[in-house]
Amino acid sequence: MTFRCPPDFLWGAATSAYQIEGSLDVDGRGESVWDVFARRPGAIEGGGDGSLASDSYRRWADDVELIASLSLNAYRFSVGWSRIMPDGRGRVEPRGLDHYERLVDALLACGVTPVLTLNHWDMPQALMADGGWIARSCVDAFAEFTTAVAGRLADRVEWWITQNEPWIIALLGYQLGLHAPGVRDLGASVTAGHHVLLAHGAGADVLRQHPGTRVGAALSLFPCDPATPSDEDAAAAVGSDGYVNRWYLDPLAGRGYPTDMREHYERALGRELSEIRDGDEDAIAGRSDFLGVNYYTRRVMAAAPPGPFPWRVVGPSGDVARTDEGWEIAPDSFRDLLLRLHRDYPFPLVVTENGGVFGDAPLHDGRVRDVRRQAFLRAHMRAMGEAMAAGADVRGYLHWSLLDNFEWSLGYRPRFGLVHVDYPTGRRTVKDSGRLYARIVAAGGLDGIEEDA
Binding-residue total with ligand IFM (CB under 6 A): 8
Least distance in angstroms from the C-beta of 147 to ligand IFM: 24
Least distance in angstroms from the C-beta of 7 to ligand IFM: 28
Is residue 93 annotated as a catalytic residue, yes or no? Answer: no
Least distance in angstroms from the C-beta of 101 to ligand IFM: 23
346 C-beta neighbours (distance < 10 Å), count = 12
- Residue 189: is the preceding peptide bond cis (ω within 30°)? no
Based on CB atoms, which residue is closest to ligand IFM, 97 or 293?
293
Q: Pairing mode, if any, of strands 74-78 and 10-14?
A: parallel
Amino acid at 360: D
Give the E-state strand segments of 108-266 in sequence order. Answer: 113-119, 159-164, 214-220, 224-226
Catalytic residue among 21, 31, 165, 407: 165
Based on CB atoms, which residue is closest to ligand IFM, 302 or 337?
337
Distance between start and end Cα atoms, the chain: 15
Q: Applying CB under 6 A, does 165 fall inside the site for ligand IFM? A: yes
Query: What is the sign, positive or negative, of the torsion defined by CA atoms of 353, 355, 359, 361?
Result: negative
Q: Is 412 helix (H, G, I), strand (E, B) or coil?
A: coil
From 202, 114, 111, select the one nearest 163 (Cα to Cα): 202
For residues 90 and 86, what is the distance between their CA atoms, to the nearest angstrom? 9
Q: Applying CB under 6 A, does 15 fall inside the site for ligand IFM? A: no
Q: Which of 63, 93, 250, 407 binds ligand IFM (CB under 6 A)?
A: 407
Q: Applying CB under 6 A, does 294 fall inside the site for ligand IFM? A: yes
Least distance in angstroms from the C-beta of 165 to ligand IFM: 6
Least distance in angstroms from the C-beta of 216 to ligand IFM: 15
Based on CB atoms, which residue is closest to ligand IFM, 280 or 353?
353
Amino acid at 444: G
Is residue 353 annotated as a catalytic residue, yes or no? Answer: yes
- Residue 181: is the preceding peptide bond cis (ω within 30°)? yes
Based on CB atoms, which residue is closest to ligand IFM, 18 or 257?
18
Based on CB atoms, which residue is closest to ligand IFM, 250 or 353?
353
Site string for ligand IFM, 353-382 (x = CB under 6 A): x-----------------------------
Amino acid at 338: L
Residue 105: C-alpha distances to residues 85, 101, 111, 157, 319 (Å): 22, 6, 10, 10, 48
Q: What is the DSSP letter of 349?
A: E
Least distance in angstroms from the C-beta of 78 to ligand IFM: 9
Least distance in angstroms from the C-beta of 411 to ligand IFM: 12
Q: Is 9 helix (H, G, I), strand (E, B) or coil?
A: coil
Q: What is the DSSP letter of 224?
A: E
Q: Which of 3, 9, 12, 16 binds ligand IFM (CB under 6 A)?
A: 16
Site string for ligand IFM, 334-353 (x = CB under 6 A): -------------------x
Q: Which of 334, 400, 412, 437 binds ligand IFM (CB under 6 A)?
A: 400
The CA-CA-CA angle for residues 173, 419, 298, to 5°, reads 45
The burial of 369, by beta-carbon neighbours within 10 Å (0-12 exposed, 13-18 middle, 19 or more buried), is given as: middle
Give catalytic residues, as residue numbers: 165, 353
Interface ranges with ligand IFM (CB under 6 A): 16, 19, 165, 294, 353, 400, 407, 416
